[in-house]
Amino acid sequence: MGFLADQRDAIATGHRTSVELVTEAIAAAEKLQPQLNAFTEIYADEALAAAKNTDEYPREHRPPLRGVPVAVKDLYDVSGHVTSACSAAYRNGPAAIDDAPAVWALRNAGAIVIGKTNMHELAFGATNTVSCYGPANNPWDPERIPGGSSGGSGAAVGARIVGLALGTDTGGSIRMPAAFCGATGLKTTWGLLPLAGVTPMAPSLDSVGPIATDASDAQVAFDVLKGGPPVAWTFNPPDGFRIGIARGPWFDVIDPEVAGAIEETSRWFASRGAHVADVPMPWVEAAHDAWLPVALAEFAREHRGLAGRLDDLDRSTQIILMAGVGLPAEDERRARETIVESRVAFLSTMRDHDILLMPATPFAAPRHDDETITVAGVDLPVHIGGPSRFTRPISVVPSAVLALPVGFSSGGLPIGAQLVGARNSEHTLLATGISYQRDTDWHTRVPPVHA
């Protein structure tokens, strides 16, 4: 049982009150803010009032997240608050009237929103070094990036300020922060959860999802976000599962310690009765390259009004926006054709596999001032796509993905893996993650900067 579930059960049994837990979360967020800068806003008075109201309900009233503190990426509308997307262009905009459906789902389940989390400006970035609120930092080493774009959510969960924070994922924006911060993140199938009330980056790629301390908490969050009737969960080991280990030159560009952790994870699958085999993915490089033109084109269309307000954007975001504005239509068309081909190839791959196992990132969290990381003789850029080498191509195919910690580097930094399933395979992935985390303790390790 995870951190979130522990808090929920402590409230349900009367051992703790919501006011106590929310007070502790707010105090931790404020105390760690100088080190992590994980939050853009903390709703202390509002959250404590909601917690007090929760505690006045009879204990028999037990929605799945009754009274537990959670956080929300500053991309989601929260009623009465501005959605800045961590850009000066939107920071002083009008307050949202309604909660985004995902935020409403959390509140309806009894959760208490304590604030909004930092993110990479307008969600187009893998580091969270670019934000009008300043960079967010990694709880394992504040000199390092937490990943992006949901970096504040990853840091807040990794540091145990909250057990759950909402993120979004367009090219890895849930999976990279989960990997770098030692948390568990779920990229849901595109279109499964509503994107209303979420500032878009690239609508044909954007997806809603949770970052949590472990897979069992991510399962609770997913059920809440999905709504509908409760799901009968079973958590049996993956006996008989067909596990494909991603192979090929694209996956050879990887830090040896990350590669070693992936191999060790494959051995766990084999020990639990799964059929493990290498699987070539020759389509992955083309899928990776096709992601960028589509993301640029859609980003420019969504934020075209900012082309006349470039001074409100970081220089790096200006370059991204203008690259999208100037992108030839033919480049976007060809990229979309490649994505269709990649989806066909992915579906063919998944006919023979239940889950694909691959790294979440090619290296552990870099320092903020690192320009490149050299792995396997290749200099991967930190700020323009290196961290998302293994997440971008999976963003363009019809998949659900669970990112979870599978080891640590010799420097004490988390290493993450991706469990990739077919469309609407969230239940399978989460059940597998729960089984894996019952046998391992990577997800239980607490960073030096923690609540």
Helix residue ranges per DSSP H, 161-214: 175-181
Q: What tens digit of pLDDT does each residue of 102-120 get?
A: 999 999 999 999 999 999 9
Strands 242-247 and 355-359: parallel
Say if CB 377 and CB 386 are below 8 A apart: no
20 Cβ partners below 8 Å, 6+ apart?
A: none
Please check the confidence at residue 232 and state whether its pLDDT lies above 80. no
pTM over the 0.95 mark: yes
Measured distance CA(97)–CA(172) in Å, rounded: 29
Please check the confidence at residue 246 and state whether its pLDDT lies above 80. yes
Q: Decide if 410 is catalytic.
A: no
Q: What is the mean pLDDT of residues 20-31?
A: 98
Please check the confidence at residue 164 and state whether its pLDDT lies above 90. yes
Q: Give the distance between the most distant pair of CA atoms in the chain.
A: 62
Domains plus CATH for the chain? 3-226 (3.90.1300.10), 242-444 (3.90.1300.10)
Q: What tens digit of pLDDT does each residue of 430-449 get?
A: 999 999 999 999 999 999 99
pLDDT at 60: 73
User: What is the pLDDT confidence band of residue 235, given thresholds at 50, 70 and 90?
Assistant: low
Q: What tens digit of pLDDT does each residue of 324-377 get?
A: 999 999 999 999 999 999 999 999 999 999 999 999 999 999 999 999 999 999
DSSP assignments along 274-315, one per residue: -EEEEEE-TTHHHHHHHHHHHHHHHHHHHTGGGGG-GGGS-H
418 Cβ partners below 8 Å, 6+ apart?
A: 175, 356, 357, 358, 359, 360, 390, 391, 394, 401, 402, 403
Token pair for 349: 């791959």
For 56, counting Cβ atoms within 10 Å of its Cβ (0-12 exposed, 13-18 middle, 19+ buried), the class is exposed
* Cα 24 from chain centre: 24
pLDDT at 231: 65
Q: Among 86-100, 175-189, 217-231, which is the least confidently predicted range? A: 217-231
pLDDT at 322: 98
pLDDT at 85: 98
* Average predicted confidence (pLDDT) for the chain: 96
How many C-beta atoms surround the C-beta of residue 281 within 10 A?
21
Q: What tens digit of pLDDT does each residue of 401-420 get?
A: 999 999 999 999 999 999 99
User: What is the pLDDT confidence band of residue 195, given thresholds at 50, 70 and 90?
Assistant: very high
Measured distance CA(203)–CA(170) in Å, rounded: 8
Measured distance CA(245)–CA(440) in Å, rounded: 20
Please check the confidence at residue 229 and state whether its pLDDT lies above 70. no
Q: Decide if 226 is catalytic.
A: no
Measured distance CA(376)–CA(254) in Å, rounded: 6
Q: Decide if 316 is catalytic.
A: no
Q: Pick the catalytic residue: 87, 173, 216, 435?
A: 173
Provide the 3-class DSSP secondary structure of residue 127.
coil
Peptide bond into 149 cis (omega under 30): yes
User: What is the pLDDT confidence band of residue 429, given thresholds at 50, 70 and 90?
Assistant: very high
Q: Pick the catalytic residue: 18, 84, 131, 149?
A: 149
In single-letter form, the type of residue at position 327 comes to: L
pLDDT at 146: 98
Q: What is the mean pLDDT of residues 91-99?
A: 97
